[in-house]
């Protein structure tokens, strides 16, 4: 079967590989019906994910149909349509029991699919710990509606939850890429007083204005003045940093009011530095780390109820045989691309 493969830093290639087989009694084999390209895949390509293993099939955003299950799998069965969780987690260790599944202590725990073990930009994928890693998709929810449930939508949901957003808050979201928009959607579920989205790409800013007219928008050059003018206490009550640049990392603390929560959602290609002498007395609460993707069933319920819709993010669809072209388009941000669906 064809599989898009991390060959070495800077190089992905579509290779012919054997079909996966069950290797553990809690595994499942899933036929991928729709996949997507994530910015994290680009981080792997450019060597920014040290844990990534050369030779693995990339891709961790996917939905599909269960083909086989191991003898200890109880929550899904062959024929079930499922969303695949970006996180692999055992469900029994200390961190899993406390909901911190990104820190699962199992050797396969955390972000494994498409990073340390074969992922989903292919026809078939083996999913370890299938009871935790697969969530059945309601019949009323399409593959396109469910495509981002296990990764960027789970990321946005997690970020909004740990940010402790209240109805009195002014929320600033830095970045209107795919994860930024998913974070926006999940922040809106909590009905804050106002939401401001900061983005340098004017096409993406227009996308936000078109689809979410209740949201205030601003560019990075004007964001500090804008936030001061549109907040009640000298800055945002909650800042979610989803852009992943040196500038946005600094803007996150600069735009926050004293004692605010700053949640760092983004990945970075280089270390970031906080100027603590300048920040003295601001008493910010920083929350950082990877997504704890344990809310997929709730997210699917919200989609089925019409409360979450990420289908406008899918601007392009490519067959797997043309995935290299899809990556080029995605990386260059050409043709108004936001997210690309890949059909095996």
26 in helix, strand or coil? coil
The CATH fold of domain 2-151+292-343? Quinone Oxidoreductase; Chain A, domain 1 (3.90.180)
3 in helix, strand or coil? strand
- Give residue limits of the domains in the chain: 2-151+292-343, 155-288
Three-state secondary structure of the chain: CEEEEEEECCEEEEEECCCCCCCCCCCEEEEEEEEECCHHHHHHHCCCCCCCCCCCECCCEEEEEEEEECCCCCCCCCCCEEEECCEECCCCCHHHHCCCHHHCCCCCCEECECCCECCCCECEEEECCHHHHEEECCCCCCHHHHCCCCCHHHHHHHHHHHCCCCCCCEEEEECCCHHHHHHHHHHHCCCCCEEEEECCCHHHHHHHHHHCCCCEEECHHHHHHHHHHCCCCCCEEEEEECCCCHHHHHHHHHCEEEEEEEEECCCCCCCCCCCHHHHCCCCCEEEECCCCCCCHHHHHHHHHCCCCCCHHHEEEEEEHHHHHHHHHHHHHCCCCCCEEEEEC
Given its phi and psi angles, is residue 7 left (phi above 0), alpha (psi -120 to 50 degrees) or beta?
alpha
Nearest Cα neighbor of 36 from 333, 330, 336 is 330
Which pLDDT belongs to residue 197?
98
pTM of the model: 0.94
Q: What percentage of residues in the chain have a pLDDT greater than 90?
A: 87
CATH 3.40.50.720 fits 155-288, yes or no: yes
- One digit per residue, the tens of pLDDT, for the chain of length 344 reads 999 999 999 999 999 999 999 999 999 999 999 999 998 899 899 988 888 999 999 999 999 999 999 999 999 999 999 999 988 898 899 999 988 888 899 987 888 999 999 999 999 999 999 999 999 999 999 999 999 999 999 999 999 999 999 999 999 999 999 999 999 999 999 999 999 999 999 999 999 999 999 999 999 999 999 999 999 999 999 999 999 999 999 999 999 999 999 999 998 878 999 999 999 999 999 998 667 778 999 999 999 999 999 999 999 999 999 999 999 999 999 899 999 999 99
Q: Report the interhelical angle of 296-304 vs 152-162 (nearest 10°).
A: 100
Q: How far is CA 175 from the centre of its chain?
A: 13
Which pLDDT belongs to residue 63?
98
Please report where in the chains the tokens 């043309």 appear, as a residue.
322
Which pLDDT belongs to residue 289?
67
Which pLDDT belongs to residue 154?
93
Taking a C-beta distance cutoff of 8 angstroms, is the pair 155, 179 a contact?
A: yes
247 in helix, strand or coil? helix
Please report where in the chains the tokens 């560019």 appear, as a residue.
219
* Residue pLDDT, tens place only, 182-212: 999 999 999 999 999 999 999 999 999 999 9
């Amino acid at each position: 079967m064809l599989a898009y493969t991390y060959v070495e830093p800077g190089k992905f290639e579509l290779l012919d590989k054997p079909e996966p087989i069950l290797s553990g009694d809690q595994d499942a084999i899933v036929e991928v019906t729709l996949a997507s390209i994530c910015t994290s895949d680009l981080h792997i390509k450019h060597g920014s994910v040290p844990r990534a293993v050369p030779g693995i099939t990339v891709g961790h955003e996917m939905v599909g149909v269960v083909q086989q299950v191991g003898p200890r799998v109880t929550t899904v069965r062959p024929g079930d349509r499922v969303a695949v969780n970006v996180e692999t987690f055992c469900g029994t260790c200390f961190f899993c029991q406390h909901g911190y599944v990104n820190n699962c202590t199992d050797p396969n725990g955390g972000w494994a699919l498409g990073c340390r073990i074969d992922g989903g930009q292919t026809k078939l994928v083996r999913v370890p710990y299938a009871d935790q890693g697969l969530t059945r998709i309601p019949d009323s929810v399409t593959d396109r509606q469910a495509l981002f449930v296990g990764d960027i939508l789970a990321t946005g949901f997690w970020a909004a939850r740990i940010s402790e957003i209240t109805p009195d808050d002014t929320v600033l979201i830095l970045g209107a890429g795919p994860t930024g928009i998913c974070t926006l959607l999940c922040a809106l579920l909590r009905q804050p007083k106002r939401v401001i989205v900061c983005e340098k790409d004017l096409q993406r800013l227009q996308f936000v204005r078109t689809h979410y007219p209740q949201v205030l928008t601003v560019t990075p050059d004007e964001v500090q003045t804008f936030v001061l003018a549109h907040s009640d206490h000298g800055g945002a009550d909650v800042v979610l940093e989803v852009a992943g640049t040196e500038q946005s990392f600094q803007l996150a603390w600069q735009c926050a009011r004293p004692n605010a929560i700053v949640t760092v959602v983004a990945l970075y290609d280089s270390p970031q530095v906080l100027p603590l002498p300048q920040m003295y007395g601001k008493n910010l609460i920083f929350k950082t780390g990877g997504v704890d993707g344990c809310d997929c069933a709730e997210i699917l319920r919200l989609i089925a109820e019409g409360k979450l819709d990420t289908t406008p993010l899918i601007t392009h669809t490519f067959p797997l045989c043309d995935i290299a072209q899809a990556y080029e388009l995605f990386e260059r941000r050409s043709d108004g691309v936001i997210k690309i669906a890949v059909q095996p």
